Amino acid sequence: MALLNQQHPALVEILQRIATEQLPPATNAGGVLSDADFFELFESQLSSRLLDLQSRLMQAAGQSFYTIGSAGHEGNAAVAKALRVTDPAFLHYRSGAFFLQRAKQLPGSTPIYDMLLSFAASSDDPIAGGRHKVLGSLALNIPPQTSTIASHLPKAMGTAFAIGLSKRLNHQGKWPTDAIALCSFGDASANHSTAIGAINAASWTAYQTIPMPLLMVCEDNGLGISTHTPNGWIQQQLSQRPALKYFQADGSNLAETYLVAQEAADYVRHKRKPAVLHLRTVRLYGHAGADAEVSYRSKQEIARDADRDPLLHGAAALIQRGLFSAAELVTYITEQQQRIARVAAVAAQRPKLESAAAVMASIAPEYAYLPSPQRGWPADKPQHLAKMLNLALQEAMAEHQHIVMCGEDIAKKGGVYGVTQHLFEKFGPNRVLNTLLDEQSILGLAIGMAQQGFLPIPEIQFLAYVHNAEDQIRGEAATLSFFSNGQYRNPMVIRIAGLAYQRGFGGHFHNDNSFAVFRDIPGVVLLCPSNGVEGVRLVRDAVRLAHEQQRVVILLEPIALYMTRDLHHEGDNGWLLSPEDTQGAGSYASEAYLPAPYVFGGGEQLAIVTYGNGYYLSRQAEKLLAEQGYQVRVIDLRCLIPLQTEALITALGNCQKVLIVDECRRRGSLSEELFTVLHEAKPGHFSIQRLCAEDSFIPLGKAAYITLPSRDQIVAQAVDMLGGQQA
């Protein structure tokens, strides 16, 4: 309660300047905004500033945990007024005034209390549930962003594209077909490769006259923490893009900002083309609470920015318009500050997250059993993996009209390996989209489409290429449900061709045997088929997980097995499988939330646990071991993330000796987790060894196989584990 009587020193200075009328010229006067509209915007600006200062007082008292604020950027309130509440907005973290102004378009909103709950990390926070300080609201169509360094721009671009796509496909999306998407970002972020990629993708699309209703707002305060942006750089960079309209305004001038923002929004809405609004702002009070800007900025520079304070400009205009005297305005601001302090005192006492289960609730898997639809097999004869994936994708797209595929070369060409052949001809150019060569944009497009109600299936051409854009999965797609407490989701199936053993195509960029990045992303599901049967089943499971449980699913497709036909010798067609060919001790739990490991063989002397190419090689090894009298079973994990530990223990049966065959590198591979979970599940029960790839990149030619597990290595290590004792 002690904070109720405190005023932040910055507020004291503002009040003194107003009281003594030491204010800048009233450039905001005029007829662009009525008195009522002007005061409405000033009120949003003021509330945003008071919330920023209150958060710093709360942090000093141990009640708030994140003080990066909007001070100096409050002109974005006028941008909010120029848009509709149905326009999705992906906001920069300095867009507090925008958030407050938009809330005024929805009666009954309580944005001040909501933001204070977020500051206090209360589980009552209506957007993130206490997980982070974010600006977001389901009702206000503001998906939450965290510390956005341009990572939200690709999905804003994707959302804008999806709005136009909804109209072409007559799809009822979350946002109306006349909506526009907005994203705001800072001048330093404008230099990030992610921003440049998203801006380029928007321009590339619009250049081809494809609708791209995207308004990008660059809030240029001239600083990236301590690094100055060169004068004129942002205008030079953003004003010369093809098919991208450039607007600029002084963010300290409410009337000018509103007028230009309205013009920009109208252009985007009616032309269905992208535009950028270059909003010149200032940054007040440093980057965040702990930032001492006097260590890298002169006092004169800081003072010049203080004179451009939009709140002081607004105060001068209010006084000139005769709406307040200086004394009345001081009284009004003080009353508002006390009101916010009282609300803050309540918010600080609200409950917090108290358990790991509560923290993880929005990303925890739902271990429910779902009814499995009855379907016929999509092929009249056994086929290889690539063909069966193709047939499964055709089946999925026919069944789900809201599935849209996107990626490089997937349309007429049918993909590098032919997996998407005939889909373009069958489903048309609005559902099978060739994209530009930019993985960030491909995944951002998918996220945007998912938030508009589509079920996207983006393709990343090679596993190595995803590393250029992995943050679109880690920092954006996978975190949305976490930071919105499950209110926003972006379900999708990300197809990635990868893993090693590919012949005649080379180097590690086409033989990448590391997917460790995905293992470090909470909430993501990773499935890996080893043959045509599993290709169909796992596509079906992936689509069900995305459609019914709104999950982000990755389907990792082993390139080397795409066209594989033979298993034991040339011409045996042993890897062209039909459902009846999958004989073994295990059964496929297709109705479960996640596919259980598949068991081939009933041997109890040794279990080989593996996946992908490792399963193929282990099946070859099992035959050789059986010929020597050993009784071995081979377990195909199929679901690599999250590991199905209980199902794996069941699949092991009475086997106590376990050989893990992992085609990924020994350091950072799935084998580490498998070794750990088996030991933790039954300490001392299993005798476990690993056979992994070397900690090396993969070279060209025959040298590639020197670093990878082989059939003969599997046989030798299994025999060694069994001590030469035959059954």
Burial class (CB in 10 A: 0-12, 13-18, 19+), 105: middle
Q: Cα–Cα distance between 198 and 178 in angstroms, integer?
A: 21
Q: So what's the pLDDT on residue 215?
A: 98
- Percent of the chain residues past pLDDT 70, beyond the cut: 94
From the CB of residue 193, how many other CB atoms can be counted at a distance below 10 Å? Answer: 12
Average confidence (pLDDT) over 1-22: 86
Question: What per-residue confidence (pLDDT) applies to 590?
Answer: 38
Longest CA–CA span in the chain (Å) reads 99
First and final CA of the chain: distance in angstroms? 77
Placement of tokens 């034991």 in the chain: 568
Q: How far is 341 from 353, CA to CA, in rounded Å? A: 23
607 forms bridges with which residues in the sheet?
633, 658
The rounded Cα 109 to chain-centroid distance in angstroms is 27
Region for residue 502 given its phi and psi (left: phi exceeds 0; alpha: psi -120 to 50; beta: otherwise): beta
Alpha-carbon distance of 503 to 4, in angstroms, equals 71
**385-561 and 597-721, same CATH topology:** yes
What percent of the chain shows pLDDT beyond 90? Answer: 76
Q: Model confidence over 151-186: pLDDT tens digits?
A: 999 999 999 999 999 999 999 999 999 999 999 999
pLDDT digits (tens, 9 = 90+) for 249-305: 999 999 999 999 999 999 999 999 999 999 999 988 888 877 788 888 888 888 888
Model confidence at 591, pLDDT cuts 50, 70, 90, reads: very low
- Where b means 16+ CB within 10 Å and e means fewer, 338-366 reads eebbebbbebbebeebeeeeebebbbeee
Q: pLDDT-based confidence at 703, cuts 50/70/90?
A: confident
Is the model's pTM score more than 0.85?
yes
Q: What is the pLDDT of residue 589?
A: 42
Containing 80, the helix (H) or strand (E) segment is: helix 76-81
**pLDDT tens digit string along 360-376?**
888 876 654 445 555 77
CATH 2.60.40.2470 fits 597-721, yes or no: no
> Is CATH 3.40.50.10810 correct for 2-353?
no
Residue 582 has pLDDT above 60, yes or no: no
pLDDT at 505: 63
Q: Considering the domain 385-561 in this protein, what is its CATH number?
A: 3.40.50.970
Residue 78 pLDDT > 60, yes or no? yes
pLDDT at 445: 96
Question: Hey, where are the domains in the chain?
Answer: 2-353, 385-561, 597-721
**pLDDT for res 169:** 95
Nearest to residue 578, comparing CAs of 420, 379, 306, 287?
Answer: 379
27: left (phi over 0), alpha (psi -120 to 50) or beta: alpha
Whether pLDDT at 557 is above 50:
yes
Q: What pLDDT shows up at residue 584?
A: 41
